[in-house]
Structure 1
Amino acid sequence: MKFYISVTLTIFIFIFYCVACNSVDQSSPKIKNGRVYGEIPHFKHQWYHYYARGLSFAEGHFFSDACSDLQTAIHKRTKDQRNARTYGFHYMDYFPHRELGIIYYRQKKIKLAINQLKLSLSSEKSARAEFYLDLARKDLIQSDKLDHHPPNIVITSPKHTDFRNTPDLTIQGYVTDDTFVKKIDIEKRPVRMDLSQKKKTFTMNFSLKPGQNEILIQAEDISGKISHVSLNITLDRIPPLIAVDQLFEKEALNKIVISANIFDSNGLERFVIDEYAQNANGLQQIKISKTLPLKPNQKQIHIQVYDKAGNCTQAFIPIKDHTKAIFSNQLLAGDFMTDDSRKSILLSQQSTDNIGNRDSIFPVINLRFPREKKVTFLDFMYLEGSVQDNDEVSHLSVNGKNLLPFAGKKIFFNHIIPLKKGKNVINLSAMDPSGNSTGRTLKVTRQVPGVEQHEARLKIAIANFERDISATILSKCKNFENLLYIEMKKKQRFTLIHPEKLNVKKRRINDQEKEKIDEKSALLTAKTLHADYVMFGKITENQDNMTIYIRLVDTELPDTIEDIAVGVYTENVDRDQLFVLAQGLNFKLADELPLLKGLITRIMGDEILVDIGRKDNIKKGMKLIIYHIEKIKDPKTDIVIWEKFSNNGQARIESPQEAFSMAKLMKNKGLSDQKTQQQIITK
């Protein structure tokens, strides 16, 4: 009997305690400016009830009550998490550490704020936590006067910053600070920094323009101190000129005498005549007069001239056995001359006899490269050849630009001409002092390989975003999806499917009032549209702040491939700020899914090893396009004179490592071990 009385009493006390607690919680709402805060229907002491009520109190600036509820929520469920399951099919974003840190920041409890915000980010990344952690760090540094120096910028590549002969430049380095690095810009292009860091490494690719390039790298720390360094790099793609004036054979001494001028506007590095080599010490022009031994059965003289950028011009001058005066005050046909050129010279010489002393012999242009090249995948054309005249060549131009700083009997030249996409016309013209002029016209079409075209990039279908809008405000983020679509289309990193084409319906989840996107339906629809990813998003908008969070879900493997997720946050809730947020999301997405090139280093059945990895921001599930451009080079100059393109299928990253990755073939057109140096590009 006593046992039953004891049990009954215990149950009664428990029920009384629960009722008492509920009555206290239900009586806790606060009223401010006619609005009620902290009122949660059907409050059942669950972690999500305390969290929701804490947010409500925080919105009304009842910070003591908010802290109490958030701490209770943390005690019941420790870690911050997106889409935390409450009950049934109900989910919510749960960030108690973040919101508690923001309250501490507003209460000027800076160290407590930093601790809570770091705990939040250690569990789940969010733009709002990053924003407030940087604010708290800045306040602490300024109040304790911890910032003594501006950031220190170190460039690790390129090592030499004077002259280059290729336009592609990769700048690598790092920035350190005695507090935190907040911002890095390279020639006004930002390095992605979601959160300030003690040390930030960076890599950025540039395309240099011809001539001098000044690239400014600027870094700013969290307190606003700024430092900068400049790289001065000259892109020189114009090789030196060689003008041969005389070439005599001293028969008795078995020697050859050569007289020539060499020139480069940015400075000569060295020159080589057969086996004789000499440094040029950066001089722009050198007059060469050299006597060299003539080897038995020697057929030609080989001249090589290098400039400071590494460009090289070569001349192969034939030695004629039948004459002692090989090249002196007369026209030398040379080994580049065609039969048509010889005929034109003969006709010109005949016309000279008819008109007396007047020079009517036209200069002759001989091209070694290109050889009937009409289509190319390269973004430049390489010209190599010579021009000669019985008197001297005074003018040689390519597309109207004169290349000659001086006149000469026979000019050897190399020239690189940038090509635009599509058809290109190249005009060469040579003239002698008498005004005799010769012209050549070349036509070439530059094709962009299919793997580099915009249509080959990842296809993303944009779904309409979910919205969590405060009941007290008029939303300013209507049609944000369309704004983001326009911004992403403008940058052309991805191909896109507009939300209207996806046309995914919303559905209710049980008795939940808010409608949610039917993700399964969206993925199925996007797959029929051949999309690689579906973009889902959520916009949270309050009176004084806005958060936009988006994630990409793989249409083929939605349950096995980790989502790509980024977010932005602002406290400037203004219509114009939406453009900035759209730019920020696109910038972060392009960084999460970078457009990279690499090489296949090994093939193992249906798996390949590639030379890009986590250091390049490569992630599991990313798709690769495999292709090969066979480059045919001239054996004498090592210059690419022809190329052939082939698309060999696709692969998906399976296991990314720091410097390399393992990928599995998806669409294989016949890879073999003999083709391990094939190229890959991220889709």
Structure 2
Amino acid sequence: MRKTDSGIHFHRGFRPACVAVLLPFLAITGCAVRPAPPCQKDGITYGTTVGIFRGQWNDHYERALSYMEGECYDFALDDLKQALMQNPSDRWWARAYGMHFIDYFPHREKGLVHYLTGDYASAVEELEISVAQEPSEKALFYLGKARWRLPEVKQAGTTPRLVVHTPAGAEQTGEIWTNRHSLRISGIAEDPQYISEITISGGPAFIESSGRRVAFDEEIHLDQGRHEIEICAKNIRNRATKRRLVIHVDRSGPTITIDRLVPGIRIQGRLQDESGIAFVRTAGRTLAFQNRKQAAFSFPLESKSGTIRLIAADGQDNTTRAEIGLPTPPTARTASFIAQNDGYATDALRPAFHYAPREDETRILISGWKEKEVCFDESIHIEGRITSRYRVEILTVNSRPVSLDSGKTVFFNASVLLKPGENPVDISVTDQSGRMTTKHLYITRKIPEIYHLKHRYGFFMHPFRNSKQGDKIGYFESLFAGSVLGRNRFQMHFQDDLKKILDERDILRKFRSFFPEKRRRPDAVLSGVIYETRNGVEIAARLFDRDTSELLAIKNVYDASKNASAWNFLADRLAEKFVREFPLVCGTATRCGRRRIVVDAGSGRLKMGWPLIVYREKKPAQAEAVLNGSNMTRRTDYTTIIGNAGIDELMGRQYGAALTGGCASEIRTGDGIISR
């Protein structure tokens, strides 16, 4: 034996060069990890890993998940404890080594093992740590179920506290009057035993996750009329608290019934409106009402010829106009009987002199609309006049009754909500004799240029990873793609293999209209993972900026079921999460400088770096539009894109943005802003 300078002894004939050959073997045998305890079920071996088990935290975590699939929970707990000793934090996208990342939730999975084995107190403890470190739907789901099984929770009898935000004055009555197309229903639900669900009129409200305090904010679209809305919050013990709102949507003006008309003397009539009449005005004279649903009016007339113009408004600022050409004046004796000194209003008037048409048939005259028209608004006002020899008793617009006080000459202004494409509008009148008269219009609604999908943010979608999907590859992706496209918020581009799968499943054909001819280059890349286990399905999706590789958002969803309805639910919920994370926001430019603008987005939220479109909306001239009271209905798209910008500064409730396209000198204060 001889001794080297390093102090290591070698036997005679041993060559130091051999060390290089022996070192790997010595390293493996000297640092060998403990072999995995055997776990078999139904002929399947569990406790395995994809690669070589090196004893790192990610190896223990992967093996623990395998043990959980085989229900070898003691072995799974041992591995989870080993993983936590090396890496104690739950997190999405944890770096394992090099450029290899995994979703790592040892506290959550440990809590799930405790829940499945009946140790609910330990389950709550671990799951609460997981939620505090990195919230996930799966952790919150089982935290609620574990808490519900605790003895102290079972004995407690709490019910949720539900606060619904309502306009001023609606707290006491629970009734809201509005003339808007949509209304936001928002509020807070609180319960020590966790809020598990919030519904609005029976449909689920979107909540990010269950918790002791949950906020909700839903926009509901309502047509004309009365709507009862029930908001219900439930806790994990299924105890509920309900609030009821009655929403009256009134976008139609008052009806004006003309009873008497004496040229140069007086005009008299009646008004009716469900939300209450504010005033009626003519020739500089105004009669105000305290939101009475019915009222009568009388105005002196100075002129014996020409046109009388009346305008009536209700409490929601809806208006109706009446224009009447004066007939031949009556005799002086009749006129002196009618004449009064000043305008006055009463609740009812007995007609002494009738203004009625001579025609035998009922006539419906619509102001400004031809039989077939095009417009760019989501609703229109059908303003018209009905004349009949018999009293008009019933007026409907698209089968919806219009409130009126019967008479032979009636002016009305009814609102009609339009869907994209052609919309039939039927105005039907029934008179005192029972005869029905109908007029038909066909209004085609088009979408303004700035809302077209070709101007929206786009992402490139890869197939989601799922080792258990087998012949269902592309199944979830097709559901998710359909749900995203159906919301008309993002452009979608597909990786070739995924596009082939979607084509084979005939998915893309159904959404062909959602693929503009000129699509922009994708702004981001979307990838995801489907974790399908014996206990349910968890899906995590990540959106990366295509140029900078910055992680823009991680969204996850979970369901304990794996049936068809669960997969649909997961796809819709994941799509909704991304749409809410990056909403379509409209605003205005409040200041303009050299290559920079300041944006006021109102209540909307914008993110750093998010691209914007700058546009200008020219108000249509009266000759190019239909004038309905104070409403101008656009027959032409008057929006023009004049530039692009990107958010680079957060300024409280406003945002600073740098111009990335267009001419800075053309952009002015007041120009419109919309997120891409």
Question: Do the structures match in fold with TM over 0.5?
Answer: yes
Match of 1:197 in 2: 211
Task: Describe the shift of the 1:372–1:657 C-alpha distance in structure 2 as closer, same or farther (beyond 3 A).
Answer: farther
Task: Describe the shift of the 1:302–1:323 C-alpha distance in structure 2 as closer, same or farther (beyond 3 A).
Answer: same
Q: Which amino acid aligns with 2:490?
A: F
Task: Describe the shift of the 1:652–1:281 C-alpha distance in structure 2 as closer, same or farther (beyond 3 A).
Answer: closer
Q: Which moved more, 1:623-632 or 1:216-225?
A: 623-632
Match of 1:84 in 2: 94
1:106 aligns with 2:97: no
Q: Deviations over 1:304-335 (max 9, x none)?
A: 43334442234567999999969979xxxxxx
**Distance across 1 between alignment mates of 2:473 and 2:141:** 20
- Secondary structure of the residue aligned to 2:220 is strand
**Distance across 2 between alignment mates of 1:436 and 1:45:** 88
Q: Which moved more, 1:102-111 or 1:421-430?
A: 421-430
Deviation at 1:625, TM superposition (A): 3.2
Task: Describe the shift of the 1:665–1:200 C-alpha distance in structure 2 as closer, same or farther (beyond 3 A).
Answer: farther
Match of 2:37 in 1: 29
Match of 1:640 in 2: 632
Aligned partner of 2:659 among 661, 665, 671: 665
Match of 2:618 in 1: 630
Q: Which amino acid aligns with 1:156?
A: H
Deviation at 1:169, TM superposition (A): 1.7
Task: Describe the shift of the 1:314–1:485 C-alpha distance in structure 2 as closer, same or farther (beyond 3 A).
Answer: closer
Deviation at 1:215, TM superposition (A): 1.9
Aligned partner of 1:179 among 181, 190, 193: 193
Trace 1:97-496 onto structure 2 (pairs within 5 A).
Answer: 97-140=107-150, 143-145=152-154, 147-159=156-168, 160=170, 161-247=175-261, 257-264=266-273, 267-272=276-281, 274-279=284-289, 282-284=292-294, 286-289=295-298, 303-315=310-322, 369=368, 374-384=373-383, 405=404, 411-422=410-421, 445-469=444-468, 479-496=475-492
Task: Describe the shift of the 1:291–1:112 C-alpha distance in structure 2 as closer, same or farther (beyond 3 A).
Answer: same
Deviation at 1:371, TM superposition (A): 10
Task: Describe the shift of the 1:411–1:468 C-alpha distance in structure 2 as closer, same or farther (beyond 3 A).
Answer: closer
For these two proteins, the number of residue pairs brought into alignment is: 608
**Distance across 1 between alignment mates of 2:103 and 2:434:** 81
Task: Describe the shift of the 1:270–1:536 C-alpha distance in structure 2 as closer, same or farther (beyond 3 A).
Answer: same
**Distance across 2 between alignment mates of 1:37 and 1:372:** 72
Task: Describe the shift of the 1:84–1:381 C-alpha distance in structure 2 as closer, same or farther (beyond 3 A).
Answer: closer
Deviation at 1:475, TM superposition (A): 7.3
Deviation at 1:425, TM superposition (A): 6.8
**Conserved? CA contact 2:304–2:329, under 8 Å:** no
- Secondary structure of the residue aligned to 1:572 is coil
**Distance across 2 between alignment mates of 1:553 and 1:543:** 30
- Secondary structure of the residue aligned to 2:195 is strand
Deviation at 1:208, TM superposition (A): 1.0
**Conserved? CA contact 1:395–1:403, under 8 Å:** no
Trace 1:591-610 onto structure 2 (pairs within 5 A).
Answer: 591-610=580-599
Match of 1:532 in 2: 523
Q: Which amino acid aligns with 1:559?
A: S
**Distance across 2 between alignment mates of 1:396 and 1:56:** 71
**Conserved? CA contact 2:39–2:67, under 8 Å:** no
Q: Deviations over 1:88-145 (max 9, x none)?
A: 45443332222223233334444443343333334434333233223233333x5434
Match of 2:515 in 1: none
TM-score by length of 1: 0.73
Q: Which amino acid aligns with 1:26?
A: R
Task: Describe the shift of the 1:297–1:552 C-alpha distance in structure 2 as closer, same or farther (beyond 3 A).
Answer: same
Match of 1:517 in 2: none
Deviation at 1:449, TM superposition (A): 0.7
- Secondary structure of the residue aligned to 1:30 is coil
Q: Deviations over 1:46-75 (max 9, x none)?
A: 333443444445445554554344333323
**Distance across 2 between alignment mates of 1:544 and 1:612:** 43
Task: Describe the shift of the 1:102–1:429 C-alpha distance in structure 2 as closer, same or farther (beyond 3 A).
Answer: closer
**Distance across 2 between alignment mates of 1:301 and 1:30:** 96
**Conserved? CA contact 1:362–1:431, under 8 Å:** no
**Distance across 1 between alignment mates of 2:330 and 2:59:** 105
Q: Deviations over 1:150-179 (max 9, x none)?
A: 223222134443433332222222222243
**Conserved? CA contact 2:586–2:604, under 8 Å:** no
Q: Which amino acid aligns with 2:528?
A: G
Task: Describe the shift of the 1:264–1:463 C-alpha distance in structure 2 as closer, same or farther (beyond 3 A).
Answer: same
Task: Describe the shift of the 1:592–1:382 C-alpha distance in structure 2 as closer, same or farther (beyond 3 A).
Answer: same
Task: Describe the shift of the 1:249–1:83 C-alpha distance in structure 2 as closer, same or farther (beyond 3 A).
Answer: closer
Q: Which amino acid aligns with 2:86?
A: K
**Conserved? CA contact 1:134–1:195, under 8 Å:** no
**Conserved? CA contact 1:429–1:439, under 8 Å:** yes
Aligned partner of 2:537 among 530, 539, 546: 546
Task: Describe the shift of the 1:541–1:27 C-alpha distance in structure 2 as closer, same or farther (beyond 3 A).
Answer: same
- Secondary structure of the residue aligned to 1:546 is strand
Q: Deviations over 1:228-250 (max 9, x none)?
A: 22222222233222234445589
Q: Deviations over 1:161-220 (max 9, x none)?
A: 343333222222222224321111223443333432222222221221222222222211
**Conserved? CA contact 1:387–1:393, under 8 Å:** no
Q: Which moved more, 1:185-194 or 1:365-374?
A: 365-374
Root mean square deviation, CA, Å: 4.9
Match of 2:569 in 1: 580
Deviation at 1:29, TM superposition (A): 1.9
Aligned partner of 1:620 among 608, 611, 614: 608
| Unpaired segments ≥5 residues, structure 1 | 10-14, 251-255, 330-357, 506-526
Task: Describe the shift of the 1:302–1:407 C-alpha distance in structure 2 as closer, same or farther (beyond 3 A).
Answer: same
**Distance across 2 between alignment mates of 1:425 and 1:112:** 62
**Conserved? CA contact 1:628–1:648, under 8 Å:** yes
Identity %: 27
Task: Describe the shift of the 1:502–1:540 C-alpha distance in structure 2 as closer, same or farther (beyond 3 A).
Answer: closer
- Secondary structure of the residue aligned to 2:157 is coil
Q: Which moved more, 1:230-239 or 1:474-483?
A: 474-483
Deviation at 1:533, TM superposition (A): 2.7
Q: Which amino acid aligns with 2:319?
A: C
Match of 2:340 in 1: none
Deviation at 1:405, TM superposition (A): 4.8
TM-score by length of 2: 0.73
| Unpaired segments ≥5 residues, structure 2 | 10-23, 337-356, 502-517
